[in-house]
Structure 1
Amino acid sequence: MDKDSGKAFDLRLFRRLMAHTRPYRLTFYGVALAAILLSVFSVIIPYLVQKIIDNAIMVPNAEMLLNLSVIMLGVLLAQVISQLLFNYYANWLGEMVIKDVRIDLFKHMLGFRMKYFDSSSLGVLVTRAVQDMQRIGEIFSQGFFMIVADLLKMLAAAAMMLYLNWKLALIVFVIMPVILYATRLFQKAMKVAFIDVRAEVSNLNSFVQERITGMKIVQLFTRERIESENFRGINEKHQNAWLKTVWYNSIFFPIAEIVSSVAIGLVVWYGGLQNVANISVDIAGTLFAFILYIEILFRPLRQIADKFNTLQMGMVAANRVFKILDTQSNIQDVGTIEKGDVRGNLKFSDVRFGYVENEEVLHGVTFEVQAGETIAIVGATGAGKSTIINLLNRFYEINSGSILVDDIDIKDFKLSSLRAQIAVVLQDVFLFADTIENNISLKNSSITLDTIKAAADEIGVDEFISSLPGGYQYNVKERGTMLSSGQRQLIAFLRAYVSNPSILVLDEATSSVDTYSEQLIQRATERITEGRTSIIIAHRLATIKKADKIIVMDAGQIVETGTHKQLLKRKGYYSKLYEAQFMEEEVA
C-alpha cells in the first residue's frame, strides 16, 4: 500500500474494504444484479431500433412497428426502475460501510495512548474521520459499482456488435486500443495527483483548525498578516494540487471524444460503401444501431476513467484510514481486576519514565500515600509533577519500576476500573459544547440532576450555577467559553465530586482564578478531599499548608518530603520555593 507507487488499483486494500460489506451482503448482491440488468437493457434498445428500422420502417409494417415500440417502452421502463434501485442502494451501501468504518475508527482512536495525540495533528485526524470517510463511501456510490455496470455494458455492446456485423465491429475494435492506452495513462497520473490532493486537504484543515483554536494568540501578537501569508501559501498548494487533476481531465476527455467520433465516422463510411456496392441492402438499421452501440462502448470508457478517479480517491482515503486503524498505540488493557471499593493506598517504587526514548523525565521516583491522606507535590516547572498524575492514570506506560494501588500493580487492573477510581481536576479545564448538567455527569445515566444539585450544594457551588440563565441547562458553548476560568474550575470540581472517586487529583486546579472563585474552590477542595486519598499539584499556599505530606521535586527526582513546618525548618529546596513563590501570597 505504498502511497507513492502510482498503482492504479490496490487489490489487497480493496478486499479489506469489501469485507465491511458482509453484513449487507443481500444489498450488495441486489446492486450487482441491478448492474447486470442495466447492461442487458442498454444493449436491447439499439437492437430493437435496428429491427424497427429494417423490418417496420424500410419495409413498412404497422403491426410490427407497434409491437416493437411497446416492447421498447417496456424495456425503457425496466431500465429506469433498475437505474433507480441501482443508484439508491449503491449509495445506501456506501453510507452503511462508512458508518461502520467511522465507528471502528473513532473507537480505535479512543483507546490511543496520549503519546499518539502528542505527535499527531488534530486537523489531520478530523480529516480522516470526516472527509476521508465520505471518499470511501463514494467508492460504492460512484466508483466500484458504476465501473462494474459500465464494463458489463461494454461487453454486452461488443457482443451485440459482433452479432449484427462482425466487419463493422472489427473497425470499432481496431480503434479501441488507443482509448484504452489513454485511459491507462490517465488513471496512473490521477492516482498520484489525488494523493497530493488529499495531503494538501489535510494540511489545509490542520492549519485552519489550529489558527481558529489559537485565534486569541494570533490577535494578541498581531500575527494576522503573517498568518494570512502562511495561509495563502498553503491554499495555493491546495489549489495547484487540484489544478493538476483538472489538467489531466482537460487532456483525456477531448482525446476520448475524438476517438469516439473517428470510430463513428469509419463505421458510417464503411457501411455506406457496402450499401453503395449493394453488398448489404439492410445496412441502415445496423448502422443506426452501431452508432448507438459505439456510444455505449466508448461513453463508459470516458465515464470509467472519471469513476476510476473517484475510486482511486476513495482508495487513497481508505489507505489513510486503515493506517490509523492499524496503528498499535493503545495502552495494553490486559488486567483482570475490577474493584469498586478501592481504599486509596498508593505506592510509587523506583518509577522511571520518559516521553521520548532515552530522555528520562522521572529518575527513580519512590513515595507512598496512605488511604485518606492528602499530599501535595511541589516543584519548579518541568520537575515532573504532572507526569506522576499521567502515569497513575496509565496515560503513558512507565519504563521501569511499579505503581501500586492497594498493593496491586495498576497494570493488573482493568483500565476502565482503574480510571473509574481516579478523578482529576486540571488547571486547564475542558468543557464540551453542552449544558452544565451534561458536562458534570458526562451523560452517565447513574448521575441524575438531583444528585448533581445535592453535590453542588454540599461543596458550595449551587448558588453560582443557579444564577446562570437556565441554571444547570445553561449551554457553555465550545470549550466552555461562556464561563470564566474560575467558573470552569468549579464545574470541574463538581464533575470530580459526583463521580465519587477513591483517589482525587488536583493538578494546579486553583491557579489563575479570581478571589471569589478561589474562596469557593478552597471550600470545594476541603469538602471533596475529606476522607479520600488526594494528590494536589500545589500552587496555592493554603492547600499546601494543610496537606498531610508535601513531596518536593526537582528535575524528575524527589529531593524533600515532609510537612509544611518540617520543610521550612530544614531551610532546603522547599524553603527557597516558599520564599520565592509563596511569601508574598502569605503576607497578603
Structure 2
Amino acid sequence: MLGRLLVRYLRPAWPLLLAVVVFQLAQSIASLQLPTLNADIIDKGVVVGDIDYIWRTGGVMLAVSLVQVVCAIVAVYFGSRLAMAMGRDLRGALFHRVVAFSQREVGQFGAPSLITRNTNDVQQVQMLVQMSATVMVSAPMLAIGGVIMAIRQDAGLAWLMVVAIPVLLIIVGLIVVRMVPAFTQMQARIDRVNQVIREQLTGIRVVRAFVREDQEHARFERASTDVMDTALRAGNLMALMFPAVMLVMNVSSVAVIWFGAFQVQNNGVEIGTLFAFLNYLMQILMGVMMATFMFVMIPRAAVCANRIGEVLDTDPSVEAPADPVSAPAGRGRVEFDAVAFTYPGAEEAVLHDLTFTVEPGTTTAVIGSTGSGKTTLVGLIARLFDVTAGAVRIDGEDVRRLDPDDLWQRIGLVPQRAFLFAGTVASNLRYGDTDASDEDLWRALELAQARDFVEALPEGLDAPIAQGGTNVSGGQRQRLAIARALVKRPELYIFDDSFSALDLRTDAALRRALDTHLPEATRIVVAQRVSTVQGADQIIVLDHGRMVGRGTHDELLETSETYREIVESQLAAEEAA
C-alpha cells in the first residue's frame, strides 16, 4: 500500500523528483572525490613535500565542498516541495473520499479515526517522502560509489566490506521487524486519544453537570499512558539501532587500520591510500546508516499508508448511478414502496415493509417511540443511506437513479441535531443559497421565528457564530438551521425532530408560518410531540420499524391504539377530544 500511494501521488511531481535525483547525484560525486584528493595530498606531502601542490589540491577540495553544499541545499529544497505537494494531494484525496461517504462508512471508521488518518497518518507518510528525497536518494549513491572507489584504492581490504555490510543489514532488519507491531498499535491508540478528547470537548457540559471531571481526566490519562507505553517500546528499539550501527562502524575502522598497517609496513600501500580506503568505508557504512534511519520510518509510514489506503479503497455505499437521470418535473411527491432497511451487521431490520405516499403541497408527520426508525425513514429520502428492499421515489423516479446533487438540490433537510458552522449568521444561512440577498435571509429568519433575536444582536446578520453554534441557545440554533433550509427554497422540506427544542408557542407560530407562506411545498415532519403533528394532512405512526397507523389525528384516535397511547401520555383527555 505504501508503494501504491507513493507511485500514485508522486507521479504528478516527477520533475521535482528528477531534480532531487540530479542534485543528489552531483552531491554524491563531489563527496566521493574528497577522499582521493585528500589521499593525494597526504602522499604528495609526505613523499615530496610539494606545498604548491598541496595548496592547489586543497583549493580543488574546497571548491568541490562548496559544490557539495550547494547541491545539498537545492536537493533539500526540491525534496521538501515534493513532500509537501504529496501531502497536499493525499489530504485532498482523503477529504473528498470522506465527504462522499454515507453515514454507514463514517460510522464504520469513526470520526476520530478519520481525523487521525487525515492528519497524523498523512504526516508520517509525508515525512518519509521528505527524508527519502533528502537521504534515501543519496545513500545508495554514496554506498555504491564508495564500494567502487574503495576497491580502486585497495582491493586487498575489500573483504572487510563483505563482512561489515551484511552484519549491519542483519542487525537493522531484526530491529525493524520488531518495530512494525509497535507502530501499528501506536496509531490505533492515537485514534483512542483523539476519540477521548473529542468526546470531552463536545460533551463538556455533560461532564460538568455530572461532576465527572476527575473520571474523565483519568480516562484521558489511561489513553495517553497507553500511547506513551507503545511509543517507549518503539523508542527503545529505535535507540538500540544507532549504537549497533556505530559499533559496526567503529569495529570496521579498527579492522581497516589493523590490517592496513601491515600492508603499509610491507610497503604494499601508501598511508594516504589507507586513509582514503578508511574514508570510503565510512561513507559506505554512513550510507547504510542513513538507510537504517529510513528503515526506522518505513514501518510506521507503512502502517499509516495502510490506514490511509483503507479509506481510499472504501467505496461509498451511496454512489451516483452510472447513467443518472435528470430530476423529473414535479412538486415533490414522495412514494415509499415496500421499503425495508437493515443496518450492516444488524440482526433485525430497522424498517419493515413501509408503503405510503406523500402528496405534493401536503404535510406528512411521522411519530413513534424512541428507536422506532423515524430518522432512518427520512434519511432514506435524502439518500443518506440506501434501502435494502423496496424503493423510495420522488415524482415517480427512484432516488437511486437520480444524480445525488440534483436530488439534494430538491430537498431542504433540517437534521435532528442542528449544526452551525463557524462564521456569521449570514454565512450559515447562505449555505442554503450562496446568492441569497439580505432580504431573502430576513424573510427566512422571519418564517423560522428567528428574526427577533437576530435583530437584537449588535451585528445583526454579521453576528459571529462559533463552531457548532455553541454561542447561541439550543432553540436559537434550531431556528437558524430551519431558516437555512428555508433560504434554499426546495420542493421538499424534511424536518427531523426539528421543533423539539422550541417552546409550544414558537412551535405553533412556525408551523402556521410554513402553512401560510409555503403552501405548495411538500413537508415531512418527524416529531415527538402530538401538538406538533396533530394538524398534519397525514400522520404515519411507527412502532419498532413497522407502520401501525396512518391517517389524520382524528382518524388515528379511533383506529390506532399506539397513537392513542402517545396522545394520552402527552395530552389531557379534554385536549385529545
CA contact 1:429–1:488 (8 Å) conserved in 2: yes
Change (3 A) 1:368 1:80: same
Deviations 1:385-405 (A, max 9, x none): 222101111112112112111
Query: CA–CA distance in 2 between the matches of 1:524 and 1:52?
Result: 95
| Count of residues paired in the alignment | 574
Per the alignment, residue 392 of structure 1 pairs with 381
Answer yes or no: is 1:345 the counterpart of 2:326: no
Amino acid at match of 1:566: E
SS at match of 1:391: helix
Amino acid at match of 2:388: N
CA contact 2:365–2:540 (8 Å) conserved in 1: yes
What pairs with 1:246-265 in structure 2 (closer than 5 Å)?
246-265=235-254
CA contact 2:368–2:543 (8 Å) conserved in 1: yes
What pairs with 1:43-442 in structure 2 (closer than 5 Å)?
43-56=32-45, 58-143=47-132, 146-280=135-269, 283-334=270-321, 336-339=324-327, 341-356=329-344, 357-442=346-431
CA contact 1:365–1:558 (8 Å) conserved in 2: yes
Query: CA–CA distance in 2 between the matches of 1:375 and 1:483?
Result: 30
Instruction: Give structure 1 regions of 4+ aligned residues with deviation exceeding 6 angstroms.
Output: none
SS at match of 2:572: helix
Change (3 A) 1:449 1:60: farther
SS at match of 1:267: helix
Change (3 A) 1:347 1:249: closer
Deviations 1:320-378 (A, max 9, x none): 10111111233131052223853111111111112244411222111111110111122
Find 1:484's aligned residue among 473, 477, 480: 473
Deviations 1:503-548 (A, max 9, x none): 1111221113346754664455445643211011133444323211
SS at match of 2:429: helix
Amino acid at match of 1:410: V
Cα shift at 1:106: 1.2
Amino acid at match of 2:99: L
The worse-fitting range, judged by mean Cα deviation, of 187-196 and 456-465 is 456-465
Query: CA–CA distance in 2 between the matches of 1:198 and 1:231?
Result: 16
Deviations 1:189-223 (A, max 9, x none): 22232222222222222222223222222333333
SS at match of 1:551: strand
Cα shift at 1:130: 0.7
What pairs with 1:561-576 in structure 2 (closer than 5 Å)?
561-570=550-559, 572-576=561-565
SS at match of 2:541: strand
SS at match of 1:351: strand
The worse-fitting range, judged by mean Cα deviation, of 289-298 and 422-431 is 289-298
Return 5+ residue gaps in structure 1 as ranges.
Answer: 1-11
Amino acid at match of 1:380: S
Query: CA–CA distance in 2 between the matches of 1:585 and 1:232?
Result: 56
CA contact 2:238–2:296 (8 Å) conserved in 1: no
Query: CA–CA distance in 2 between the matches of 1:370 and 1:401?
Result: 19
Query: CA–CA distance in 2 between the matches of 1:553 and 1:494?
Result: 28
Query: CA–CA distance in 2 between the matches of 1:266 and 1:459?
Result: 85
Query: CA–CA distance in 2 between the matches of 1:274 and 1:111?
Result: 71
Query: CA–CA distance in 2 between the matches of 1:65 and 1:91?
Result: 38
SS at match of 1:55: helix
CA contact 1:345–1:369 (8 Å) conserved in 2: yes
Query: CA–CA distance in 2 between the matches of 1:188 and 1:144?
Result: 24
Change (3 A) 1:256 1:227: same
Amino acid at match of 1:338: S
SS at match of 1:371: coil
Amino acid at match of 2:314: T
Percent identical among aligned pairs is: 28
Query: CA–CA distance in 2 between the matches of 1:519 and 1:467?
Result: 22
Cα shift at 1:426: 2.6
RMSD of aligned Cα (Å):
2.4
CA contact 2:447–2:483 (8 Å) conserved in 1: no
Deviations 1:235-254 (A, max 9, x none): 22211211112211232222
SS at match of 1:119: helix
Cα shift at 1:311: 2.5
Answer yes or no: is 1:446 the counterpart of 2:429: no
Change (3 A) 1:425 1:174: closer
The worse-fitting range, judged by mean Cα deviation, of 571-580 and 419-428 is 571-580
Query: CA–CA distance in 2 between the matches of 1:453 and 1:376?
Result: 27
Query: CA–CA distance in 2 between the matches of 1:584 and 1:223?
Result: 42
Per the alignment, residue 500 of structure 2 pairs with 511
Query: CA–CA distance in 1 between the matches of 2:495 and 2:96?
Result: 28
Answer yes or no: is 1:42 the counterpart of 2:50: no
Query: CA–CA distance in 1 between the matches of 2:86 and 2:438?
Result: 37
Amino acid at match of 1:367: F
Cα shift at 1:488: 0.6
Cα shift at 1:82: 1.0
SS at match of 2:311: helix
Find 2:535's aligned residue among 546, 558, 568: 546
Query: CA–CA distance in 1 between the matches of 2:546 and 2:168?
Result: 71
Amino acid at match of 2:398: D
